[in-house]
Chain A
Amino acid sequence: MRRENSFLISLAILLVTSVVLLSTLRVQNLATYLNLFTLCYFADSFVFRPKRRSIDFVGLGLLYYSALFLAIAFRVL
Protein backbone atom coordinates (compact mmCIF):
# COMPACT_ATOMS: atom_id res chain seq x y z
CA MET A 1 0.00 0.00 0.00
CA ARG A 2 1.18 3.53 -0.68
CA ARG A 3 2.78 5.28 2.25
CA GLU A 4 0.41 8.24 1.80
CA ASN A 5 -2.66 5.98 1.89
CA SER A 6 -1.43 4.28 5.05
CA PHE A 7 -0.83 7.72 6.55
CA LEU A 8 -4.36 8.88 5.74
CA ILE A 9 -6.05 5.69 6.97
CA SER A 10 -4.12 5.64 10.24
CA LEU A 11 -4.81 9.37 10.73
CA ALA A 12 -8.55 8.78 10.23
CA ILE A 13 -8.49 5.93 12.77
CA LEU A 14 -6.53 8.02 15.26
CA LEU A 15 -8.83 11.05 14.94
CA VAL A 16 -12.03 9.03 15.30
CA THR A 17 -10.55 7.14 18.28
CA SER A 18 -9.63 10.47 19.90
CA VAL A 19 -13.18 11.78 19.49
CA VAL A 20 -14.72 8.57 20.84
CA LEU A 21 -12.27 8.43 23.76
CA LEU A 22 -12.69 12.06 24.84
CA SER A 23 -16.47 12.01 24.43
CA THR A 24 -16.60 8.85 26.57
CA LEU A 25 -14.66 10.76 29.21
CA ARG A 26 -17.28 13.55 28.86
CA VAL A 27 -14.73 16.17 27.87
CA GLN A 28 -16.55 19.35 26.82
CA ASN A 29 -13.54 21.52 26.03
CA LEU A 30 -12.89 21.86 22.30
CA ALA A 31 -9.27 22.87 22.94
CA THR A 32 -8.57 19.42 24.43
CA TYR A 33 -9.87 17.73 21.29
CA LEU A 34 -7.81 20.00 19.07
CA ASN A 35 -4.63 19.42 21.06
CA LEU A 36 -5.09 15.66 20.88
CA PHE A 37 -5.72 15.92 17.12
CA THR A 38 -2.47 17.87 16.75
CA LEU A 39 -0.61 15.25 18.72
CA CYS A 40 -2.07 12.45 16.60
CA TYR A 41 -1.33 14.33 13.38
CA PHE A 42 2.33 14.94 14.15
CA ALA A 43 2.86 11.43 15.56
CA ASP A 44 1.36 9.95 12.39
CA SER A 45 3.45 12.27 10.18
CA PHE A 46 6.56 11.26 12.11
CA VAL A 47 5.87 7.54 11.61
CA PHE A 48 4.89 7.60 7.91
CA ARG A 49 6.76 10.71 6.70
CA PRO A 50 4.49 11.32 3.68
CA LYS A 51 5.73 13.49 0.83
CA ARG A 52 3.64 16.63 0.30
CA ARG A 53 2.67 18.77 -2.66
CA SER A 54 3.34 21.99 -0.78
CA ILE A 55 4.27 23.07 2.73
CA ASP A 56 2.42 21.28 5.53
CA PHE A 57 -0.26 23.93 5.99
CA VAL A 58 -2.52 21.56 7.96
CA GLY A 59 0.26 20.87 10.48
CA LEU A 60 1.07 24.57 10.72
CA GLY A 61 -2.59 25.46 11.29
CA LEU A 62 -3.01 22.79 13.94
CA LEU A 63 0.16 23.91 15.67
CA TYR A 64 -0.98 27.54 15.63
CA TYR A 65 -4.43 26.86 17.09
CA SER A 66 -3.08 24.39 19.67
CA ALA A 67 -0.51 26.92 20.81
CA LEU A 68 -3.23 29.60 20.96
CA PHE A 69 -5.58 27.42 23.02
CA LEU A 70 -2.76 26.34 25.32
CA ALA A 71 -1.73 29.95 25.79
CA ILE A 72 -5.30 30.87 26.71
CA ALA A 73 -5.62 27.84 29.01
CA PHE A 74 -2.43 28.70 30.86
CA ARG A 75 -3.39 32.40 30.85
CA VAL A 76 -0.31 33.43 28.93
CA LEU A 77 -2.47 35.53 26.59
Chain B
Amino acid sequence: MKIRVSDDKVLTRLRSREPGKPVANARLGEALIDIQTIVIIGLLYWLLTEEQSNPFLRTWLSDNFPLGLYILSPLAVAVISGTLLVVTAFRIGLFVTGRSMTFVGGEVLRGLSGLEIQLRKFVSTKGTTTSALILTSFGTALGLYSYFIAGIIPLTALGISCIILGLTALSLPRHVRGGPGMRAMLQGATRGVEALLEQGTVGRATYLPPADGDAIFAYVPLTPQPETLSIDEMKQAPKSHVGNNEKGLLVHPVGSELNRIPEFQEALSLEERLRYVLVESADVCSRVMVEETGSVVVVAMESADTDLQGQKYLESLGSLPSSLAACIIATLHNKPVTLLDEKKTGNRLIARFRLLA
Protein backbone atom coordinates (compact mmCIF):
# COMPACT_ATOMS: atom_id res chain seq x y z
CA MET B 1 0.00 0.00 0.00
CA LYS B 2 1.34 3.44 -0.91
CA ILE B 3 1.55 6.08 1.77
CA ARG B 4 0.95 9.64 0.73
CA VAL B 5 3.61 11.73 2.45
CA SER B 6 1.70 14.95 1.93
CA ASP B 7 -1.24 13.75 4.02
CA ASP B 8 -0.90 14.88 7.66
CA LYS B 9 -2.89 11.97 9.09
CA VAL B 10 -0.78 9.49 7.20
CA LEU B 11 2.38 11.23 8.42
CA THR B 12 1.22 10.94 11.99
CA ARG B 13 0.50 7.26 11.49
CA LEU B 14 3.90 6.84 9.87
CA ARG B 15 5.64 8.47 12.84
CA SER B 16 3.74 6.29 15.26
CA ARG B 17 4.98 3.24 13.39
CA GLU B 18 8.59 4.41 13.35
CA PRO B 19 9.58 3.25 16.83
CA GLY B 20 9.33 -0.37 15.74
CA LYS B 21 13.01 -0.91 16.40
CA PRO B 22 13.02 0.57 19.94
CA VAL B 23 10.24 -1.88 20.93
CA ALA B 24 12.46 -4.74 19.86
CA ASN B 25 15.33 -3.15 21.83
CA ALA B 26 13.13 -2.83 24.91
CA ARG B 27 12.20 -6.50 24.60
CA LEU B 28 15.87 -7.42 24.33
CA GLY B 29 16.72 -5.25 27.36
CA GLU B 30 13.93 -6.81 29.38
CA ALA B 31 15.08 -10.30 28.40
CA LEU B 32 18.69 -9.45 29.34
CA ILE B 33 17.63 -8.17 32.77
CA ASP B 34 15.56 -11.29 33.40
CA ILE B 35 18.45 -13.53 32.33
CA GLN B 36 20.77 -11.59 34.67
CA THR B 37 18.37 -12.15 37.54
CA ILE B 38 18.23 -15.88 36.85
CA VAL B 39 22.04 -16.00 36.65
CA ILE B 40 22.38 -14.13 39.97
CA ILE B 41 19.94 -16.50 41.69
CA GLY B 42 21.77 -19.52 40.20
CA LEU B 43 25.13 -18.15 41.35
CA LEU B 44 23.80 -17.51 44.85
CA TYR B 45 22.43 -21.06 45.06
CA TRP B 46 25.69 -22.52 43.75
CA LEU B 47 27.71 -20.45 46.28
CA LEU B 48 25.40 -21.62 49.07
CA THR B 49 25.86 -25.30 48.21
CA GLU B 50 29.60 -24.76 47.74
CA GLU B 51 29.89 -22.95 51.09
CA GLN B 52 28.06 -25.79 52.82
CA SER B 53 30.17 -28.55 51.23
CA ASN B 54 33.54 -26.80 50.96
CA PRO B 55 35.22 -26.04 54.31
CA PHE B 56 38.08 -24.17 52.57
CA LEU B 57 35.66 -21.64 51.12
CA ARG B 58 34.08 -21.15 54.53
CA THR B 59 37.49 -20.56 56.15
CA TRP B 60 38.48 -18.15 53.40
CA LEU B 61 35.22 -16.23 53.80
CA SER B 62 35.55 -15.99 57.60
CA ASP B 63 39.13 -14.71 57.22
CA ASN B 64 38.67 -12.28 54.35
CA PHE B 65 34.96 -11.50 53.97
CA PRO B 66 32.97 -12.35 57.13
CA LEU B 67 29.87 -10.60 55.82
CA GLY B 68 29.77 -13.24 53.07
CA LEU B 69 29.01 -15.89 55.67
CA TYR B 70 25.82 -14.06 56.60
CA ILE B 71 24.89 -13.44 52.97
CA LEU B 72 25.43 -17.13 52.15
CA SER B 73 23.24 -18.43 54.95
CA PRO B 74 20.18 -20.35 53.60
CA LEU B 75 17.75 -17.76 54.99
CA ALA B 76 19.61 -14.80 53.43
CA VAL B 77 19.84 -16.59 50.06
CA ALA B 78 16.11 -17.37 50.22
CA VAL B 79 15.27 -13.75 51.05
CA ILE B 80 17.51 -12.29 48.30
CA SER B 81 16.31 -14.79 45.66
CA GLY B 82 12.67 -14.25 46.67
CA THR B 83 13.00 -10.47 46.43
CA LEU B 84 14.69 -10.69 43.03
CA LEU B 85 12.03 -13.08 41.73
CA VAL B 86 9.22 -10.81 42.92
CA VAL B 87 10.84 -7.75 41.30
CA THR B 88 11.37 -9.67 38.03
CA ALA B 89 7.81 -10.96 38.01
CA PHE B 90 6.59 -7.41 38.59
CA ARG B 91 8.73 -6.09 35.73
CA ILE B 92 7.54 -8.85 33.36
CA GLY B 93 3.95 -8.13 34.38
CA LEU B 94 4.42 -4.43 33.57
CA PHE B 95 6.06 -5.22 30.25
CA VAL B 96 3.34 -7.66 29.17
CA THR B 97 0.43 -5.43 30.20
CA GLY B 98 2.11 -2.38 28.69
CA ARG B 99 1.73 -0.26 31.84
CA SER B 100 4.54 2.17 32.38
CA MET B 101 6.61 2.62 35.51
CA THR B 102 5.45 6.24 35.66
CA PHE B 103 1.90 5.11 36.32
CA VAL B 104 3.04 2.64 38.95
CA GLY B 105 5.35 5.30 40.42
CA GLY B 106 2.36 7.62 40.74
CA GLU B 107 0.39 4.91 42.53
CA VAL B 108 3.33 4.26 44.85
CA LEU B 109 3.71 7.98 45.56
CA ARG B 110 -0.02 8.23 46.31
CA GLY B 111 0.32 5.29 48.67
CA LEU B 112 3.34 6.89 50.31
CA SER B 113 1.49 10.16 50.86
CA GLY B 114 -1.29 8.14 52.53
CA LEU B 115 1.36 6.50 54.68
CA GLU B 116 2.74 9.91 55.53
CA ILE B 117 -0.70 11.04 56.74
CA GLN B 118 -0.96 7.90 58.86
CA LEU B 119 2.49 8.55 60.30
CA ARG B 120 1.61 12.17 60.99
CA LYS B 121 -1.50 11.00 62.81
CA PHE B 122 0.69 8.81 65.00
CA VAL B 123 3.59 11.18 65.55
CA SER B 124 1.95 14.56 65.69
CA THR B 125 4.51 16.56 67.64
CA LYS B 126 7.96 17.53 66.53
CA GLY B 127 10.57 17.87 69.27
CA THR B 128 10.28 14.84 71.51
CA THR B 129 9.11 12.57 68.74
CA THR B 130 12.01 13.43 66.45
CA SER B 131 14.49 12.82 69.27
CA ALA B 132 12.80 9.50 70.06
CA LEU B 133 12.90 8.44 66.40
CA ILE B 134 16.58 9.42 66.10
CA LEU B 135 17.38 7.48 69.29
CA THR B 136 15.50 4.41 68.02
CA SER B 137 17.20 4.52 64.60
CA PHE B 138 20.62 5.01 66.20
CA GLY B 139 19.95 2.11 68.58
CA THR B 140 18.91 -0.15 65.69
CA ALA B 141 22.01 0.71 63.65
CA LEU B 142 24.31 0.29 66.66
CA GLY B 143 22.68 -3.00 67.65
CA LEU B 144 22.88 -4.49 64.16
CA TYR B 145 26.46 -3.34 63.56
CA SER B 146 27.80 -4.45 66.93
CA TYR B 147 26.04 -7.85 66.80
CA PHE B 148 26.58 -8.90 63.18
CA ILE B 149 29.82 -7.14 62.27
CA ALA B 150 31.78 -6.14 65.37
CA GLY B 151 30.44 -9.00 67.52
CA ILE B 152 30.51 -6.94 70.74
CA ILE B 153 27.63 -8.00 72.99
CA PRO B 154 27.70 -5.05 75.51
CA LEU B 155 27.53 -2.61 72.60
CA THR B 156 24.59 -4.57 71.17
CA ALA B 157 22.90 -4.32 74.56
CA LEU B 158 23.51 -0.56 74.53
CA GLY B 159 21.83 -0.41 71.11
CA ILE B 160 18.84 -2.36 72.44
CA SER B 161 18.60 -0.04 75.44
CA CYS B 162 18.51 2.95 73.03
CA ILE B 163 15.65 1.27 71.12
CA ILE B 164 13.76 0.64 74.40
CA LEU B 165 14.21 4.28 75.47
CA GLY B 166 13.16 5.66 72.07
CA LEU B 167 10.05 3.50 71.84
CA THR B 168 9.14 4.27 75.45
CA ALA B 169 9.42 8.01 74.75
CA LEU B 170 7.13 7.53 71.74
CA SER B 171 4.53 5.70 73.80
CA LEU B 172 4.26 8.44 76.45
CA PRO B 173 1.74 11.32 76.24
CA ARG B 174 2.97 14.50 74.60
CA HIS B 175 1.77 17.16 77.02
CA VAL B 176 1.44 17.84 80.68
CA ARG B 177 -1.90 16.59 81.91
CA GLY B 178 -4.37 18.56 83.92
CA GLY B 179 -4.61 17.22 87.43
CA PRO B 180 -6.67 18.89 90.21
CA GLY B 181 -5.83 22.42 88.98
CA MET B 182 -7.21 21.73 85.51
CA ARG B 183 -10.24 20.02 87.01
CA ALA B 184 -11.02 23.10 89.13
CA MET B 185 -10.63 25.43 86.14
CA LEU B 186 -12.91 23.28 83.96
CA GLN B 187 -15.47 23.19 86.72
CA GLY B 188 -15.29 26.98 86.94
CA ALA B 189 -15.65 27.35 83.16
CA THR B 190 -18.96 25.49 83.21
CA ARG B 191 -20.37 27.84 85.86
CA GLY B 192 -20.91 30.74 83.43
CA VAL B 193 -23.05 28.63 81.08
CA GLU B 194 -24.82 27.08 84.07
CA ALA B 195 -25.79 30.53 85.39
CA LEU B 196 -27.05 31.56 81.95
CA LEU B 197 -29.30 28.51 81.62
CA GLU B 198 -30.46 28.44 85.22
CA GLN B 199 -33.60 30.51 84.68
CA GLY B 200 -35.73 28.27 82.48
CA THR B 201 -36.23 24.91 80.88
CA VAL B 202 -33.62 23.83 78.40
CA GLY B 203 -33.55 21.34 75.52
CA ARG B 204 -30.67 19.46 73.90
CA ALA B 205 -28.07 21.83 72.46
CA THR B 206 -26.77 21.86 68.89
CA TYR B 207 -23.03 22.46 68.59
CA LEU B 208 -22.33 24.77 65.66
CA PRO B 209 -18.99 24.49 63.83
CA PRO B 210 -16.70 27.53 63.85
CA ALA B 211 -17.18 29.91 60.94
CA ASP B 212 -14.15 31.81 59.57
CA GLY B 213 -11.86 31.22 62.54
CA ASP B 214 -14.62 32.10 65.00
CA ALA B 215 -15.30 30.12 68.19
CA ILE B 216 -17.55 27.06 68.47
CA PHE B 217 -21.05 27.95 69.67
CA ALA B 218 -23.83 25.82 71.06
CA TYR B 219 -27.45 26.67 70.39
CA VAL B 220 -29.52 25.87 73.47
CA PRO B 221 -33.31 25.77 72.92
CA LEU B 222 -35.19 27.34 75.81
CA THR B 223 -38.28 25.27 75.23
CA PRO B 224 -38.63 21.65 76.27
CA GLN B 225 -40.09 20.68 72.88
CA PRO B 226 -37.40 21.26 70.25
CA GLU B 227 -38.37 23.46 67.34
CA THR B 228 -37.06 22.83 63.87
CA LEU B 229 -34.77 25.74 63.20
CA SER B 230 -32.31 26.14 60.38
CA ILE B 231 -28.61 26.52 61.18
CA ASP B 232 -28.68 30.18 60.09
CA GLU B 233 -31.59 30.84 62.46
CA MET B 234 -29.67 29.17 65.25
CA LYS B 235 -26.63 31.34 64.54
CA GLN B 236 -28.75 34.47 64.88
CA ALA B 237 -30.01 33.58 68.34
CA PRO B 238 -29.11 36.03 71.15
CA LYS B 239 -26.06 35.37 73.31
CA SER B 240 -27.73 36.53 76.52
CA HIS B 241 -31.25 36.91 77.93
CA VAL B 242 -32.84 40.01 76.41
CA GLY B 243 -36.46 39.25 77.11
CA ASN B 244 -38.79 36.44 77.99
CA ASN B 245 -39.71 35.32 74.49
CA GLU B 246 -36.41 33.88 73.31
CA LYS B 247 -36.63 30.52 71.62
CA GLY B 248 -33.03 29.76 72.31
CA LEU B 249 -29.62 31.04 73.30
CA LEU B 250 -26.16 30.86 71.79
CA VAL B 251 -23.66 29.90 74.46
CA HIS B 252 -19.91 29.35 74.51
CA PRO B 253 -19.40 25.75 75.64
CA VAL B 254 -16.24 24.95 77.60
CA GLY B 255 -14.57 23.64 74.44
CA SER B 256 -15.51 26.66 72.33
CA GLU B 257 -11.87 27.53 71.57
CA LEU B 258 -10.67 24.02 70.80
CA ASN B 259 -10.55 24.77 67.08
CA ARG B 260 -7.60 27.10 67.74
CA ILE B 261 -5.23 24.32 68.87
CA PRO B 262 -2.24 24.43 66.45
CA GLU B 263 -1.90 20.63 66.32
CA PHE B 264 -5.46 20.41 64.97
CA GLN B 265 -4.29 22.06 61.73
CA GLU B 266 -2.46 18.79 61.01
CA ALA B 267 -4.12 15.70 59.61
CA LEU B 268 -5.14 14.20 62.94
CA SER B 269 -7.94 11.67 63.10
CA LEU B 270 -10.99 12.20 65.29
CA GLU B 271 -9.79 9.64 67.82
CA GLU B 272 -6.36 11.30 67.98
CA ARG B 273 -7.94 14.74 68.55
CA LEU B 274 -10.25 13.38 71.24
CA ARG B 275 -7.33 11.66 72.95
CA TYR B 276 -5.28 14.86 72.75
CA VAL B 277 -7.96 16.93 74.47
CA LEU B 278 -9.80 14.52 76.77
CA VAL B 279 -6.93 12.26 77.89
CA GLU B 280 -3.71 14.17 77.45
CA SER B 281 -4.78 17.76 78.12
CA ALA B 282 -7.95 17.92 80.23
CA ASP B 283 -7.45 14.51 81.85
CA VAL B 284 -11.21 13.95 82.08
CA CYS B 285 -10.94 10.32 80.98
CA SER B 286 -8.23 7.70 80.58
CA ARG B 287 -9.02 6.24 77.14
CA VAL B 288 -11.11 7.16 74.10
CA MET B 289 -12.55 4.96 71.36
CA VAL B 290 -14.52 6.21 68.36
CA GLU B 291 -16.84 4.58 65.88
CA GLU B 292 -18.45 6.46 63.01
CA THR B 293 -21.40 4.97 61.15
CA GLY B 294 -22.96 7.36 58.69
CA SER B 295 -24.04 10.48 60.49
CA VAL B 296 -23.80 8.91 63.95
CA VAL B 297 -20.58 9.12 65.93
CA VAL B 298 -20.19 6.94 68.99
CA VAL B 299 -17.51 7.91 71.49
CA ALA B 300 -16.61 5.61 74.37
CA MET B 301 -14.64 7.18 77.22
CA GLU B 302 -13.12 5.11 79.97
CA SER B 303 -13.02 6.46 83.56
CA ALA B 304 -14.77 9.62 82.39
CA ASP B 305 -15.29 12.34 84.97
CA THR B 306 -18.98 13.27 84.74
CA ASP B 307 -19.28 15.28 87.95
CA LEU B 308 -17.64 18.47 86.74
CA GLN B 309 -20.67 20.32 85.39
CA GLY B 310 -23.98 21.52 86.82
CA GLN B 311 -27.44 20.08 86.19
CA LYS B 312 -28.49 22.51 83.42
CA TYR B 313 -25.22 22.08 81.57
CA LEU B 314 -25.72 18.30 81.76
CA GLU B 315 -29.34 18.50 80.55
CA SER B 316 -28.54 20.66 77.55
CA LEU B 317 -24.88 20.31 76.55
CA GLY B 318 -24.23 16.93 78.13
CA SER B 319 -21.50 15.98 80.56
CA LEU B 320 -18.23 17.87 80.23
CA PRO B 321 -16.31 15.06 78.43
CA SER B 322 -19.19 14.67 75.94
CA SER B 323 -19.43 18.44 75.49
CA LEU B 324 -15.73 18.67 74.68
CA ALA B 325 -16.08 15.70 72.32
CA ALA B 326 -19.02 17.40 70.54
CA CYS B 327 -16.93 20.55 69.98
CA ILE B 328 -14.12 18.48 68.44
CA ILE B 329 -16.52 16.52 66.21
CA ALA B 330 -18.22 19.74 65.00
CA THR B 331 -14.82 21.28 64.19
CA LEU B 332 -13.47 18.22 62.39
CA HIS B 333 -16.56 17.53 60.26
CA ASN B 334 -17.47 21.22 59.96
CA LYS B 335 -21.10 20.29 60.59
CA PRO B 336 -23.53 20.98 63.43
CA VAL B 337 -23.55 18.22 66.00
CA THR B 338 -26.09 17.24 68.60
CA LEU B 339 -25.69 14.85 71.48
CA LEU B 340 -28.23 12.04 71.12
CA ASP B 341 -27.67 10.35 74.46
CA GLU B 342 -25.00 9.31 76.89
CA LYS B 343 -24.93 6.15 78.90
CA LYS B 344 -22.65 5.13 81.71
CA THR B 345 -21.95 1.41 81.77
CA GLY B 346 -19.58 0.49 84.54
CA ASN B 347 -16.41 2.46 84.13
CA ARG B 348 -17.24 3.57 80.61
CA LEU B 349 -19.22 6.56 79.36
CA ILE B 350 -20.72 6.03 75.90
CA ALA B 351 -21.93 9.14 74.10
CA ARG B 352 -23.75 9.11 70.76
CA PHE B 353 -23.66 12.18 68.52
CA ARG B 354 -25.51 12.96 65.32
CA LEU B 355 -24.04 15.09 62.55
CA LEU B 356 -26.68 17.41 61.12
CA ALA B 357 -26.71 18.31 57.46
Contact = CB atoms under 8 A, between A and B. Distances in A.
A56 B161 CA distance: 16
A30 interface: yes
Interface residues on B, range: 20 to 34
Given A8-B165, A15-B165, A30 B157 contact: yes
B167 interface: yes
Interface residues of A, number: 29
Interface stretch (B172-180, B225-233, B249-257): B172-180
B9 to A, nearest CB: 64
Query: Majority SS of interface residues in chain B?
Result: helix
- Most chain A CB neighbours (cut-off 10 Å) among B161, B169, B176: B161
B31 to A, nearest CB: 47
Interface in A1-32: 2, 4, 7-8, 11-12, 15-16, 18-19, 22-23, 27-30
B156 A4 contact: no
B161 A2 contact: no
Contact of B160 (A12, A27, A33): A33
Interface of B: 147, 153-154, 156-158, 160-161, 164-165, 167-169, 171-174, 176-177, 275, 279-280, 286
22 contacts: A4-B173, A8-B169, A8-B172, A11-B164, A15-B161, A15-B164, A18-B161, A19-B158, A19-B161, A22-B157, A23-B154, A30-B153, A30-B156, A30-B157, A33-B160, A34-B157, A51-B172, A51-B173, A51-B286, A52-B173, A54-B171, A58-B167
